[in-house]
């Protein structure tokens, strides 16, 4: 995907949402937005918690915010900076908190609509597991966005491998996908080889292929959050994700 190419960019979830402003497919745009709401639920919830909201209020604020995104044409009213979804969402959510209707009841904020099915206890547990003493709410939000994209990429890869009949092998190899995995690889490869009837060399080759595929899938996930997913734009986002994760 060359930045200098005249070939139109393939549609991404973010570009499909933005296309609705220009008369694009509303149903397709809504489905894409629903996917993105699920992806960014935890980062937005965590940001609200770091801003001092209780678990219940943070959940109501996040649910109401995403409901409003779905029900109102906010994209036509806001400047979308550089086509970056995560930046738009944070700015829109901060505006959402400042408006007087943020003090309405949970039903009014969400319009009686549940945007996405969530496990409140699990969401709060994930927040409590984070180190909230070092990062600012904005920096923590960026880190949670990065983690959400990594999790989405891993889930896509798991679905792909399972569909290909390689689910068992994937679950065994999954802990080794990260180059920084704190695992004794020699013992792990021996165990995997024994379980799958492979040689340790074949196990290592399988991990190499999966790591390569994971990087490809992650680029696809990142591209889905950009309006114009050029190779340069994707590389810049991946660099931003690495910086956020190292913070």
Find, among 243, 222, 247, the residue nearest to 83 by Cα. Answer: 222
What is the biggest distance separating any 2 CA atoms in the chain, rounded to whole angstroms? Answer: 64
Q: What is the 3-state secondary structure (H, E, C) of 169-180?
A: HHHHHHHHCCCC
Residue 209 has what pLDDT? 92
Which of the residues in the chain have pLDDT under 70? 1-10, 20-24, 72-83, 100-123, 126-134, 178-187
Residue 67 has what pLDDT? 80
165 shares its domain with 247: yes
Residue 23 has what pLDDT? 63
Residue 79 has what pLDDT? 54
175 shares its domain with 219: yes
Which residue range(s) make up the domain with 25? 10-111+120-129
Last residue within a domain, chosen from 76, 100, 129:
129
105 shares its domain with 142: no
3 located within any domain: no
35 shares its domain with 141: no
Structural domain total, the chain? 2
151 shares its domain with 124: no
Residue 100 has what pLDDT? 41
Last residue within a domain, chosen from 96, 129, 162:
129
- Counting residues of the chain whose pLDDT is more than 90, the rounded percentage is 24
139 located within any domain: yes
197 shares its domain with 212: yes
171 shares its domain with 228: yes
Residue 164 has what pLDDT? 94
159 shares its domain with 93: no
Check if the beta carbon of residue 157 is closer than 8 Å to that of residue 164: no
């Amino acid at each position: 995907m060359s930045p200098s190419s005249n070939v139109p960019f393939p549609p991404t979830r973010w570009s499909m949402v933005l296309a609705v402003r220009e008369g694009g497919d509303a149903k397709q745009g809504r489905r894409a937005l629903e996917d993105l709401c699920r992806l960014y639920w935890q980062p937005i919830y965590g940001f609200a918690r770091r801003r001092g909201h209780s678990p219940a209020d943070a959940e109501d604020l996040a649910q109401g915010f995403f409901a409003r995104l779905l029900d109102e044409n906010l994209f036509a009213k806001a400047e979308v900076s550089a086509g970056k979804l995560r930046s738009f969402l944070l700015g829109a959510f901060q505006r959402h908190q400042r408006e007087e209707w943020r003090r309405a009841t949970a039903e009014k904020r969400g319009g009686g609509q549940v945007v996405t099915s969530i496990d409140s206890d699990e969401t709060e547990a994930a927040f409590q597991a984070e180190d909230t003493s070092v990062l600012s709410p904005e920096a923590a939000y960026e880190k949670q966005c990065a983690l959400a994209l990594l999790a989405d990429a891993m889930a896509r890869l798991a679905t792909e491998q399972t569909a290909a009949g390689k689910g068992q092998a994937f679950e065994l190899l999954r802990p080794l996908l990260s180059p920084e995995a704190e695992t004794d690889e020699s013992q792990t490869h021996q165990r995997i080889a024994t379980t799958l009837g492979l040689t340790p060399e074949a196990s290592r080759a399988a991990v190499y292929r999966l790591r390569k595929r994971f990087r490809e899938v992650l680029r696809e996930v990142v591209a889905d959050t950009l309006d114009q997913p050029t190779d340069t734009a994707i590389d810049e986002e991946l660099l931003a994700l690495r910086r956020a994760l190292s913070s």
